[in-house]
A and B are shown apart, each in its own frame.
Chain A
Amino acid sequence: KNQVEQSPQSLIILEGKNCTLQCNYTVSPFSNLRWYKQDTGRGPVSLTIMTFSENTKSNGRYTATLDADTKQSSLHITASQLSDSASYICVVRSSNTGKLIFGQGTTLQVKP
């Protein structure tokens, strides 16, 4: 069964600190993996998208990594800011069906 699992479920860090969010998936074969940021009460906004041949992709203070062999991805946030408080969702697109499979998200809270 195609699944995407994220950890931790929630995370609290102090402003200025770094953090790493994890995503493990069983979707195979897959065409791309995406990370979205979703502010409370808003729609998800794309941070990064990586194909199976890419290992890393950066977007400002956000850096996503992908290990297609172990089926793991991570999202690293550097020098966190209060505005980083949000849910971060890992999404994998199945090559077979073309459908997106969503993780349940990690809720990040950045405290001053």
Chain B
Amino acid sequence: SQTIHQWPATLVQPVGSPLSLECTVEGTSNPNLYWYRQAAGRGLQLLFYSVGIGQISSEVPQNLSASRPQDRQFILSSKKLLLSDSGFYLCAWSEVPEYTFGSGTRLTVV
């Protein structure tokens, strides 16, 4: 069966520090992968999606970037975090019609 792993679960980082969140999927090949952000009391906002290795589409301009170095690995990064980057980050994968989310990372930038 397919599973999705996302880590870390929580992260507290100072302003200006780098960021790397990792997401891996097991049990499937060439999945579509997504990064979402969920601000408190708001809906999920799609940040990036990838349909294959090295293929990244950005939905909104921001301080973050994504990479897909391997088929089942999706990484969310930042060179210098801003206070506004705080939030709950979710990785997801899809294989029509299923759409499965990871357990999320709570990022607090201080």
Q: How far is the CB of B97 from chain A (nearest CB, A)?
A: 6
For the side of the interface on B, what is the size category? 10 to 19
Q: When the two chains form their complex, are residues A44 and B97 in contact, meaning their CB atoms are under 8 A apart?
A: no
Give which listed residue, A31, A43, A104, A105, contacts B104 with CB less than 8 A. Answer: A43
Residues of B within 8 A of A44 (CB): 44, 90, 101
Residues of B within 8 A of A104 (CB): 41-43
Residues of A within 8 A of B99 (CB): 34, 46, 91, 100
Give Cα A105 to B44, complex, Å: 10
- Residue in chain A with minimal CB distance to B42: A104
- Residue in chain A with minimal CB distance to B32: A98
Give Cα A100 to B44, complex, Å: 10
- Residue in chain A with minimal CB distance to B106: A41
Residues of B within 8 A of A91 (CB): 99
Q: When the two chains form their complex, are residues A49 and B43 in contact, meaning their CB atoms are under 8 A apart?
A: no
Q: Is B46 an interface residue (CB 8 A)?
A: yes
List the interface of chain A (C-beta within 8 A of B).
31-32, 34, 36, 41-46, 49, 89, 91, 99-100, 102-105
List the interface of chain B (C-beta within 8 A of A).
6, 41-44, 46, 88, 90, 92, 97-104, 106
